[in-house]
Amino acid sequence: MPKNKTFIVYVIALIYILVGTFFISKEEYTFFALFNTIPVVLIIIYFSLFSLDKLLFLIIFLTPISIPISEFVPNIENDIILPIEPLLFGTLLLFIVKLIFEKKSFDAKILKHPISIAIYFNLIWMFITSISSTMPIVSFKFLLARLWFLATFFFLASHLFKNKKNIYKYFWLFTISFLIVILYTLYKHSLFGLFSQKHANQAVSPFLPDHTSYAAIIAMLIPFSIGTLSMKKYTSLKKVLISFSLLILTTGIIFSYTRAAWLSLVGAFGVYIIILLKIRFRFILISSIIIISLFFTFKTQIFISLERNNKESTDNFTEHVESISNISTDASNLERINRWNSAIRMFKDKPVFGFGPATYMFQYAPYQLASEKTIISTNNGDVGNAHSEYLGPLAESGLLGILSIVLVFSLIIYYSLKVYNSTNDKEIKTLSLILLLGISSYLLHGFLNDFLDLPTASAIFWGYSAAIMSLDIYHKGQTTLV
């Protein structure tokens, strides 16, 4: 770069730092946040005009390491995750502009795919229930966030994934960025002692709100790292680096002390065994119906047996695992049951439209029973969501709410299996299996928690979904070696 251009860059950077420092010194944090959107807007404009793929890669790398402004500005009314949320909003606008003015630049196969159509149905119903919501502003904010997640991590990513190499680049950029989060978390946790279970939750701050979302994301990334190790396309050196990343991921999930994430990985391994043994779907369906029927038949006896388990979640890994089935004294497990039962009661009260997207945490308090409250319950009911990716939509958007999101999840699973079973391409077969197992870990985790309102979880979940759809549209007929 010529010296005069270098000088201009330094001057602009200095002015930017001075103006930002001025706003902070005057405690004008709102103006500071708005001022910080200027480079974001310039980046969006530049990349959207000259290199959209680089914009998406930048977003995916920045997502895990973005931080809420509330970490620096306490008691702020409208929290913003910087720099990712302004970027996502700008990308949503860019996506809308492309759909309106550059229809030919966006492949209709993506927009007309059954997974996309199911997503439209879910979004339309969310829009309707936002209108009827008990808290419309809250619901429309949630809907807006879902729109920019899908525009970036699903629709634009699907377009990006026409080039198969971009699928790997997308997930490796995310993984590398998330490894930074894990290493920081492990360092922060080590200050209190890695075997201190009670400090696992606060160690993930400021990147994530709690250890459960942190572990759920790691659980989605582990199948990708394991699967790519088996690919011949990677050199020995790259496989060493992949092995190192897998070691960090494994260490991170172990010291997250998150039982739900551990269970989700066990479940994903079960899915792998089912696929490996080529067990027919009909057998799985009949077996599931029989197991569910037996559960309800012997429900009383099962709960009596579970209530005999009084193992609490502790620093001891063995006892922590044993506490998974403790529904007599473990506060975390009992609080989940409290939230689930509250969600079901809310659904019974408003079965058609629900209370409105994202309103559960503001509305569930009156639906708690005194006999089900725990030491971590609050009378205001203001400490979290329904702890379920399925019961949350049921309470918030009624019967069609849960049916529409389950339809989306089901089609994602269906097309991953379709690609796996129909392709003769070894690389595509392996990649579709990796994606399926990553998705499965989250959908199983979804029975116990819900995180699709977080940019980090959405980036990997909808990214996996976009990759599955792209494999079905563009790549399943190719022939390569693994």
Alpha-carbon distance of 244 to 250, in angstroms, equals 10
Q: Is residue 388 within 8 Å of residue 442, measured between CB atoms?
A: no
pLDDT of residue 393: 96
Q: Is residue 445 within 8 Å of residue 216, measured between CB atoms?
A: yes
Is 93 part of any domain?
A: no
Q: Is residue 263 within 8 Å of residue 321, measured between CB atoms?
A: no
Structural domain tally of the chain?
A: 1
Is 320 part of any domain?
A: yes
Is 395 part of any domain?
A: yes
Output the six-digit token pair for 390. Answer: 């399925």
pLDDT of residue 432: 96
Q: For residue 464, which of 445, 446, 437 has the smallest C-alpha distance?
A: 437
pLDDT of residue 325: 55
Alpha-carbon distance of 398 to 321, in angstroms, equals 34
* Per-position DSSP letters for 316-385, written without gaps between them: SHHHHHHGGG--SS-HHHHHHHHHHHHHHHHHHHSTTT-S-TT-HHHH-GGG--GGG--TT--SS--S--
Q: Is residue 119 within 8 Å of residue 386, measured between CB atoms?
A: no
Is 90 part of any domain?
A: no
Is 76 part of any domain?
A: no
Alpha carbon 328 to its chain's center: 30
Q: Kindly state the greatest CA–CA separation across the chain.
A: 80
pLDDT of residue 322: 55
Q: Which domain range does residue 475 map to?
A: 115-482
pLDDT of residue 98: 82
Q: Is residue 454 within 8 Å of residue 209, measured between CB atoms?
A: yes
Q: For residue 313, which of 297, 332, 299 has the smallest C-alpha distance?
A: 332
Is 456 part of any domain?
A: yes
Mean pLDDT by 10 residues, the chain (482 residues): 55 66 62 62 66 88 90 73 86 86 82 97 98 96 96 96 96 96 95 86 92 96 94 89 96 93 94 88 73 64 54 55 57 86 95 96 91 80 80 96 95 94 92 96 92 96 98 76 40
Ramachandran assignment for 107, one of left (phi > 0), alpha (psi -120 to 50 degrees), beta (any other)? beta
Q: For residue 474, which of 433, 443, 431 has the smallest C-alpha distance?
A: 431
DSSP code for 77: S
pLDDT of residue 481: 38
Is 50 part of any domain?
A: no
Alpha-carbon distance of 29 to 46, in angstroms, equals 27
Q: Is residue 83 within 8 Å of residue 32, measured between CB atoms?
A: no
Is 454 part of any domain?
A: yes
pLDDT of residue 479: 46
Q: Is residue 456 within 8 Å of residue 145, measured between CB atoms?
A: no
pLDDT of residue 212: 93
pLDDT of residue 54: 87
